[in-house]
Chain A
């Protein structure tokens, strides 16, 4: 017998009891006992007087989408889980969401769900339209399906982010420390991001339990080569692009957090920004309607708590300790090393390198975006990137070898 038949052979109350007994929890950022969550959903359904429906999706704020892989590996369990949820919640309306841009997956799923009553959408979950419904993580649905197929094993789905991509999904047994998860770097670690929560190096010792908020399960480890504030700027930009823009605190709050962060990485940061970011960030945690806004400031709140030193370096000392924030850097051409070959002139996307064949080249610092392409192009290692002082350089065209320091 399949999972759904097993569930349907039981009363609705018995299904709920079994879920309670197994300690099944809602996955993702809204981690809580599933039975309790459903009870709340049913309560709210009465409030809104909207028809109950079962919605399965990733958390809206999950831009890594590592857990989307479950739809490939455990599709049947997810479908069965949704159907069991629909049985338990007494509804026939089932909706499965894949994020925007996953049209191939959507097409595949549309085939897989045929005959199950599940509708597949390619969109972010509109929480306002889902009022009165029960929104569940697809990982929760997978676990639910497995529970009733008697194949359920407790544990967390996690993925280690490395070299710009999420690693494969790992089933991590509860009780495992982050540092013991295969692939997690432990050398030179200054910060650990688990889901949306940012820790300092102590995050490595975090033990993953059933009630640990691991968000989307992605672990990112930051070393001394990473600038936390630069990471924050990039993340906030991703979040802003991801958001639907309806909630004030998400839309405008993320915009403010981003602008403050950008000013800091641009070397124009002010100390007042920190208090403002904290005020907005704290308010966001309860002033939005989905995870994009509710968890959108998690990184900022973590960095303010654990990485005050990095802020201090950027704002007060005008220095990026990881040498990442380009605005604190200078790039110049060593007049004694330049051979006047014009290679760098050709690759400069900003067109800010002046010079002709046989003459020492010069970088116009005003237009330079510090992209570093010229450094790679120079065969003579004449182009220097530094956070320190720039030596005296020629101010007009000078033949190679003729520049004299005075």
Chain B
């Protein structure tokens, strides 16, 4: 330890520690620009100069090492003058107009200008005349605004070990860039964005708007995590997968969701839509990485380690054992409540068991993951349809409605009730229950109306049940169909004819379906009242022969006004103002599709978590259902350079060839191969590393503190 004196204040500090950090940590502000706590010192900007007793000239405090007995002054006439001069020099090549800069109001240089109060009036000013480089993904370079503090260069080289950004010289102007001004991707940039994080000016900026209203910085910086409805910590589990630590990865996923493997197979992966890697080349295969971890998981990290609060004696009934209901039941049980799930069908799982076909999600996966929930003490009553939900309040302290949306929608067109017309969800449920084509009423020639994943589930299930000619028609054009691309492609491989941009004019036939009349759609959009506006192509009427038509145009909950709770549009439960799951009747709650209509498994799980938390509070708990299952992860900030990183392609999955899959319900997609998993996980940009970087220390923070101390 060394005892030093700064502005008369005696400080005990570690030997060799730089005086700037000593001062800042002691609440004494010294202006600084090129210094950054996470980077080696540059000592170039001369803002942090101080006077040391016994030394003739001012020295930079960032490079000054504390020594016992050192007596330091941070302010004097000379220092003020020199700092001012340094800033004036920096500003001689910096654009004057702050208000047009995207960094305005969030710029360290701007705060320094305010603190020091200098401008460029005494200087010979120049415009550097660089062209802003906007061709790179994620990152914009505008070297006109650069004051050459060199933080980005040190972040790229010393902190990250990537060695992409270097000092360069063009004629007399020094600037920061890549060797030979290559594009970042060609210079093997890892797109970690540490450079943008440390830049104190508007020179190196994020292309994505960072200052979104009501958005936390970490949500914008790590968009996959914030896009996930359950906020699964994507970069953390991807990192574990890359290291081959699958148990740890699965534990990270399990901290947020109780159905990791099912999600790994069927999640609609909104995370991938937000993945920043998509802007470099192709998004990470997040879902399949999750799946791989879940499939390899032995449970060593989480089994028997989660939270289990002592019994509270409060009773909760969950109506409907789908993902929302089972998730809520699980976390309510962990909070110590006595939970019973009442399920109308023979097994739990909801749409995971009776909607999504088994070739996409094997039933044993759902059963295995559900057993973790029953093992935790959740009681399940199957084949139990609840007719009077509010009546359950006599027996239970709280009731959660998670009945999903199990009634298919029949379009109001001519012939919609002919023999041979089926509803999506009825058809899929029957098939899931093991019924034959004959029992279900499926003929040989089928038209599926609808273009979402459910429509494809119907078409492909029909194929497996023996239908010979299958057509799928939808209003949307091919590029805006809501089904996943891989679903559409696999269906087409299996011989299903896809007809995008069609209107359904009528179903023909007198006693039974003989076919469907269509017209081509010229344009189609929704107006501000969410009404479909369709322009048809004249003279484009055509007919497809069929003996069966399946409506796959949406589902709604099996509920009406008589349920005793406030409903919306005939069958959806309405939440109380500001509530996450409470409905109009005290003690009644709702979550999942019954509230917002069909969405996704992950949304249902997220809703189930919210409901569990809210019900726990209602029952007297603290509502904190968070769990820590995975071990602490030390993410190495030194990511190093990888040749061709930006060009690494997304790894595909192992898909059963068409001939072997189209007549059975065996699994179609086996996920990423063992040999590819590490490479795919290695493609991650690790956006979360950026959150490790220390925030800037601005004088405003210090002046507040000093005032507070007075």
Which A residues are within 8 Å of any B CB, using their own CB? 46-49, 128, 240-241, 243-249, 251-253, 255-256, 259-260, 263, 276, 279-280, 283, 286-287, 289
Contacts of A248 in B (CB 8 A): 44-46, 86, 89-90, 147-148
Contacts of B307 in A (CB 8 A): none
Contacts of B126 in A (CB 8 A): 255
Q: Identify the closest chain A residue to B43 (Cβ).
A: A289
Contact B174 A244 (CB under 8 A): yes
Most buried by B among A46, A49, A252, A256: A252
Contact B44 A247 (CB under 8 A): yes
Contact B57 A286 (CB under 8 A): yes
Interface residue from B82, B90, B150 paired with A252 (Cβ < 8 Å): B90
Q: Taking the nearest CB of chain B, how far is it from the CB of A103, in angstroms? A: 18
Q: Taking the nearest CB of chain A, how far is it from the CB of B125, in angstroms? A: 9
Contacts of A128 in B (CB 8 A): 40, 42-43
Q: Identify the closest chain B residue to A285 (Cβ).
A: B57
Interface residue from B86, B92, B147, B172 paired with A287 (Cβ < 8 Å): B86
Could you tell me the distance between the alpha carbons of A246 and B148 in the complex, rounded to whole angstroms?
Answer: 7
Contact B148 A241 (CB under 8 A): no
Contacts of A48 in B (CB 8 A): 65
Contacts of B42 in A (CB 8 A): 128, 246
A240 and B89 in contact, given A249-B46, A289-B44 (Cβ under 8 angstroms)? no
Main secondary structure on chain A at its contact with chain B?
Answer: helix
Contacts of B147 in A (CB 8 A): 248
Q: Taking the nearest CB of chain A, how far is it from the CB of B94, in angstroms? A: 10
Contact B82 A241 (CB under 8 A): no
Contacts of B148 in A (CB 8 A): 245-246, 248, 251
Q: Identify the closest chain A residue to B86 (Cβ).
A: A248
Q: Taking the nearest CB of chain B, how far is it from the CB of A279, in angstroms? A: 7
Contacts of A46 in B (CB 8 A): 16
Could you tell me the distance between the alpha carbons of A1 and B488 in the complex, rounded to whole angstroms?
Answer: 85
Interface residue from B40, B45, B93, B172 paired with A240 (Cβ < 8 Å): B172
A256 and B92 in contact, given A245-B148, A246-B44, A276-B122 (Cβ under 8 angstroms)? yes
Contacts of A286 in B (CB 8 A): 57-58
Q: Taking the nearest CB of chain A, how far is it from the CB of B43, in angstroms? A: 6
Q: Taking the nearest CB of chain A, how far is it from the CB of B123, in angstroms? A: 6
Could you tell me the distance between the alpha carbons of A279 and B89 in the complex, rounded to whole angstroms?
Answer: 12
Contacts of B57 in A (CB 8 A): 286
Contacts of A246 in B (CB 8 A): 42, 44, 148, 150, 167, 174
Closest 8 CB pairs of A and B: A245-B174, A252-B89, A259-B124, A286-B57, A47-B65, A247-B44, A246-B44, A240-B172
Q: Mark B552-574, 1 if CB is under 8 A from A, else 0.
A: 00000000000000000000000
Contact B85 A280 (CB under 8 A): yes
Contacts of B124 in A (CB 8 A): 255-256, 259-260, 263
Contacts of A251 in B (CB 8 A): 148, 174
Q: Identify the closest chain A residue to B150 (Cβ).
A: A246
Which B residues are within 8 Å of any A CB, using their own CB? 16, 40, 42-46, 57-58, 65, 82, 85-86, 89-90, 92-93, 122-124, 126, 147-148, 150, 167, 169, 172-174
Contacts of A259 in B (CB 8 A): 124
Could you tell me the distance between the alpha carbons of A289 and B45 in the complex, rounded to whole angstroms?
Answer: 11
Could you tell me the distance between the alpha carbons of A167 and B3 in the complex, rounded to whole angstroms?
Answer: 55
Contact A279 B172 (CB under 8 A): no
Contact A244 B92 (CB under 8 A): no
Interface residue from A49, A241, A253, A260 paired with B89 (Cβ < 8 Å): A253
Contacts of A47 in B (CB 8 A): 16, 65
Q: Taking the nearest CB of chain B, how far is it from the CB of A251, in angstroms? A: 6
Q: Taking the nearest CB of chain A, how far is it from the CB of B133, in angstroms? A: 19
Contact B85 A245 (CB under 8 A): no
Could you tell me the distance between the alpha carbons of A124 and B249 in the complex, rounded to whole angstroms?
Answer: 48
Contacts of A243 in B (CB 8 A): 174
A287 and B46 in contact, given A245-B174, A260-B124 (Cβ under 8 angstroms)? yes
Contact A245 B167 (CB under 8 A): yes
11 contacts between A and B (CB under 8 A): A47-B65, A48-B65, A240-B172, A245-B173, A246-B42, A246-B44, A247-B44, A248-B44, A252-B93, A286-B57, A286-B58
Contact A255 B172 (CB under 8 A): yes
Contact B43 A241 (CB under 8 A): no
Q: Taking the nearest CB of chain B, how far is it from the CB of A21, in angstroms? A: 29
Contact A252 B167 (CB under 8 A): no
Could you tell me the distance between the alpha carbons of A256 and B120 in the complex, rounded to whole angstroms?
Answer: 12
Q: Taking the nearest CB of chain A, how far is it from the CB of B217, in angstroms? A: 30
Q: Taking the nearest CB of chain A, how far is it from the CB of B118, in angstroms? A: 13
Contacts of B150 in A (CB 8 A): 246
Contacts of B174 in A (CB 8 A): 243-246, 251
Could you tell me the distance between the alpha carbons of A212 and B174 in the complex, rounded to whole angstroms?
Answer: 34
Q: Taking the nearest CB of chain B, how far is it from the CB of A235, in angstroms? A: 14
Since A246-B44, A256-B124, A286-B58 are in contact, a sample of 20 more A-B pairs with Cβ atoms closer than 8 Å, ordered by chain A residue number, is A48-B65, A240-B172, A244-B174, A245-B148, A246-B42, A246-B174, A247-B46, A248-B44, A248-B148, A249-B89, A255-B93, A256-B89, A256-B92, A259-B124, A260-B124, A263-B124, A279-B85, A280-B85, A287-B46, A287-B82
Q: Identify the closest chain B residue to A244 (Cβ).
A: B167
Contact A255 B92 (CB under 8 A): yes
Contacts of B86 in A (CB 8 A): 248-249, 287
Contacts of A263 in B (CB 8 A): 124
Contacts of A241 in B (CB 8 A): 172
Q: Taking the nearest CB of chain B, how far is it from the CB of A260, in angstroms? A: 7
Could you tell me the distance between the alpha carbons of A279 and B86 in the complex, rounded to whole angstroms?
Answer: 11
Contact A256 B123 (CB under 8 A): yes
Could you tell me the distance between the alpha carbons of A297 and B258 in the complex, rounded to whole angstroms?
Answer: 70
Q: Taking the nearest CB of chain B, how far is it from the CB of A76, in angstroms? A: 35
Q: Taking the nearest CB of chain A, how far is it from the CB of B508, in angstroms? A: 79
Contact B122 A283 (CB under 8 A): no
Contacts of A253 in B (CB 8 A): 89
Most buried by A among B58, B89, B174: B89
Q: Identify the closest chain A residue to B168 (Cβ).
A: A245
A49 and B172 in contact, given A245-B167, A256-B123, A280-B85 (Cβ under 8 angstroms)? no
Q: Taking the nearest CB of chain B, how far is it from the CB of A397, in angstroms? A: 41
Q: Identify the closest chain A residue to B33 (Cβ).
A: A248
Contact A49 B122 (CB under 8 A): no
Q: Taking the nearest CB of chain A, how far is it from the CB of B158, in angstroms? A: 11
Could you tell me the distance between the alpha carbons of A256 and B124 in the complex, rounded to whole angstroms?
Answer: 6
Could you tell me the distance between the alpha carbons of A96 and B40 in the complex, rounded to whole angstroms?
Answer: 24
A283 and B167 in contact, given A241-B172, A246-B42, A260-B124 (Cβ under 8 angstroms)? no
Could you tell me the distance between the alpha carbons of A46 and B124 in the complex, rounded to whole angstroms?
Answer: 41
Could you tell me the distance between the alpha carbons of A324 and B556 in the complex, rounded to whole angstroms?
Answer: 92
Contacts of A247 in B (CB 8 A): 44, 46
Could you tell me the distance between the alpha carbons of A248 and B89 in the complex, rounded to whole angstroms?
Answer: 7
Could you tell me the distance between the alpha carbons of A128 and B43 in the complex, rounded to whole angstroms?
Answer: 9
Q: Identify the closest chain A residue to B123 (Cβ).
A: A256
Q: Identify the closest chain B residue to A260 (Cβ).
A: B124
Could you tell me the distance between the alpha carbons of A251 and B57 in the complex, rounded to whole angstroms?
Answer: 20
Q: Taking the nearest CB of chain B, how far is it from the CB of A249, in angstroms? A: 6
Contacts of A280 in B (CB 8 A): 85, 89
Could you tell me the distance between the alpha carbons of A251 and B169 in the complex, rounded to whole angstroms?
Answer: 11
Q: Taking the nearest CB of chain B, how far is it from the CB of A370, in angstroms? A: 24
Could you tell me the distance between the alpha carbons of A246 and B43 in the complex, rounded to whole angstroms?
Answer: 9
Q: Identify the closest chain B residue to A251 (Cβ).
A: B174
Contacts of B169 in A (CB 8 A): 244-245
Contacts of B85 in A (CB 8 A): 279-280, 283
Q: Taking the nearest CB of chain B, how far is it from the CB of A242, in angstroms? A: 10
Q: Taking the nearest CB of chain A, how far is it from the CB of B220, in angstroms? A: 32
Contacts of A289 in B (CB 8 A): 43-44
Q: Taking the nearest CB of chain A, how far is it from the CB of B182, in angstroms? A: 20
Q: Taking the nearest CB of chain A, how far is it from the CB of B34, in angstroms? A: 8
Q: Identify the closest chain A residue to B40 (Cβ).
A: A128
Could you tell me the distance between the alpha carbons of A260 and B92 in the complex, rounded to whole angstroms?
Answer: 13
Contacts of A260 in B (CB 8 A): 124
Contacts of A279 in B (CB 8 A): 85
Q: Taking the nearest CB of chain B, how far is it from the CB of A238, in angstroms? A: 11
Could you tell me the distance between the alpha carbons of A47 and B46 in the complex, rounded to whole angstroms?
Answer: 20
Could you tell me the distance between the alpha carbons of A245 and B89 in the complex, rounded to whole angstroms?
Answer: 13
